[in-house]
Amino acid sequence: MAVNNEEILSWTFMSKAKPSEEMLSILIEGEEILQCYKTVRDQAALTNKRIIIFDKQGITGKKIEIYSLPFRSIDMWSSENAGKLFDINAELELWTKAGHFKLKLDPKCDIREFDIILSKYILNS
C-alpha cells in the first residue's frame, strides 16, 4: 500500500470580517474581495482571482506569511457541511497543483457560499 506523505495545510475561518488595510494593499488591478473572514490570528479572503490567507507567525505575530492560491491552480474541491453534536465545523478541501489544503469553517460561515464562489471562478475560467 502506498503512503501519501503530502502535508495538508489547514486553517479555520471563524466569522465574516471587514478586510484590513493590509489585505486591501496586496490586491492587484481588477481584483476585488468577494468575502473576507477572520481566522484564528488574522484574516483570509476570497477574491475574484484567488484565496488569500494571512498567517501570523511567532509569539508577537509581527511576522506574517501570506498564502495566495489562484483559482486556476485548483484541480478539485470537496465541501462538507457541519454535522450535529460533535462535528460543529464545515470543511472545504482543495486539491491543487501546490498540494492539498483544508479549510474549516465555523458555523457562522456559510460553506455553500464558498461552493458558489469557487464554482463561479474556477469553472468559468
pLDDT the model gives residue 3: 37
The grid coordinates listed for 125 are: 475560467
Please say whether the beta carbons of 38 and 24 come within 8 A.
no
Mean pLDDT of 83-108: 83
> Per residue in 27-81, pLDDT tens?
999 999 999 999 888 899 999 999 999 987 777 667 888 999 999 999 999 998 8
Burial (CB count within 10 angstroms: exposed 0-12, middle 13-18, buried 19+), residue 14 = middle
> Of 3.90.79.10, 3.40.190.10, 1.20.1290.10, 2.30.29.50, which CATH number belongs to 8-123?
2.30.29.50
pLDDT the model gives residue 5: 46
How far apart, in whole angstroms, are the C-alpha atoms of residue 119 and residue 113? 10
| Three-state DSSP string of 37-85 | EEECCCEEEEECCEEEEEEEECCCCCEEEEEEEEHHHEEEEEEECCCCC
Higher pLDDT, 95 or 8: 95
Q: Record the pTM.
A: 0.84
Domain ranges of the chain: 8-123
Mean pLDDT of 13-23: 93
Q: Which of 18-22, 55-59, 93-97 has the lowest mean pLDDT?
A: 55-59
